[in-house]
Structure 1
């Protein structure tokens, strides 16, 4: 029997989390069984419980990882409002809309997260708060209270706009929703 290095388990766990994040965003949390998630990671079902107590434990870890990854991507944006404008345009793009599996976990999973257990809701709360704090810091660092209120409005509008655009069967209308969302977001940032 082959012996694994001590780095093997955390690397394998992270691979499961990353693959599950893509699958959840693509097919939903409820639409993704443990066997499919483990197959995506190239592992057997039996390996699942060596890494997670339950599917709920995996979901909470995936939510944490997905939001942390989203927040880390903001570091690649230009500083201040120019970076925030870039974020808005990228977030509300047809490419983001059409690729839920690689996009924002909020737009893909928010309705399901609302029905999850406390650990997942807490993971989402912590991650969403960090994202809104990053947005607020780019809006008006000199007025944190006003910036926080504006950041909450901006983030919720962006997520809702993307969700609505994804739900529309009329591609032209869906694109119009995204374009109007960009205009609304930019106006809100002023």
Structure 2
């Protein structure tokens, strides 16, 4: 029986993590079993333990990957003078609201992450603080370290607005929540730092 090399194993793990990202954001942490996660990656349950010690291990790796993708997006916007505004408007758009599977992991999973294992919470915490630092760099390119608290405030408004907009079934009220979220970020940024 031929053994696959490290490169193949790494690519398979990457495929599992990427497909798990979509599945977890769509069905939630509890609504996505190992069987479904592996089937999405085109693999059997038997292959799971060659890559992950447990489902929590896979979820932690997936959360890390999803937040890293968000960081990469923010870093791409760093050279754009309107990068922060573009990010906020894209995040609080009807398109993002309607695409939980392809969108932000915080908007789809935050409530479940808060009730999950220490390993998942640790992976999320490390990732979201990195996102906050990258967002702070967009908000205040000259002094990003001083902006982490404000960036976390912006993230709270972004995620809360997105989750509320997704929960409201009236399209006009939902859109109003998105618009109010963007307005609230403007108010937060206009306030003197305290």
- TM-score, normalization by structure 1: 0.94
Q: Is contact 2:16-2:37 (8 Å) kept?
A: yes
Q: State the Cα distance separating 1:81 from its structure 2 match.
A: 5.6
Superposition pairs of residues 34-45 of structure 1, within 5 angstroms: 34-45=34-45
Alignment pair present for 1:18 and 2:18: yes
CA distance in 1, matches of 2:38, 2:138: 39
Alignment pair present for 1:79 and 2:84: no
Superposition pairs of residues 129-144 of structure 1, within 5 angstroms: 129-143=129-143
CA distance in 1, matches of 2:173, 2:74: 29
Q: State the Cα distance separating 1:77 from its structure 2 match.
A: 1.6
Structure 1 residues 80 and 153: alpha-carbon distance in aligned structure 2, compared to 1, 3 A threshold: farther
Q: State the Cα distance separating 1:148 from its structure 2 match.
A: 2.1
CA distance in 1, matches of 2:146, 2:60: 31
Superposition pairs of residues 102-113 of structure 1, within 5 angstroms: 102-113=102-113
CA distance in 2, matches of 1:184, 1:79: 25
CA distance in 1, matches of 2:183, 2:5: 52
CA distance in 1, matches of 2:144, 2:72: 21
The corresponding residue for 1:67 is 67
Alignment pair present for 1:127 and 2:127: yes
Q: Any unmatched runs of 5+ in structure 1?
A: none
Residue aligned with 2:29, SS: coil
CA distance in 2, matches of 1:38, 1:145: 40
The corresponding residue for 2:91 is 91
Q: Any unmatched runs of 5+ in structure 2?
A: none
Residues matched between the structures, number: 190
Q: Is contact 1:80-1:139 (8 Å) kept?
A: no
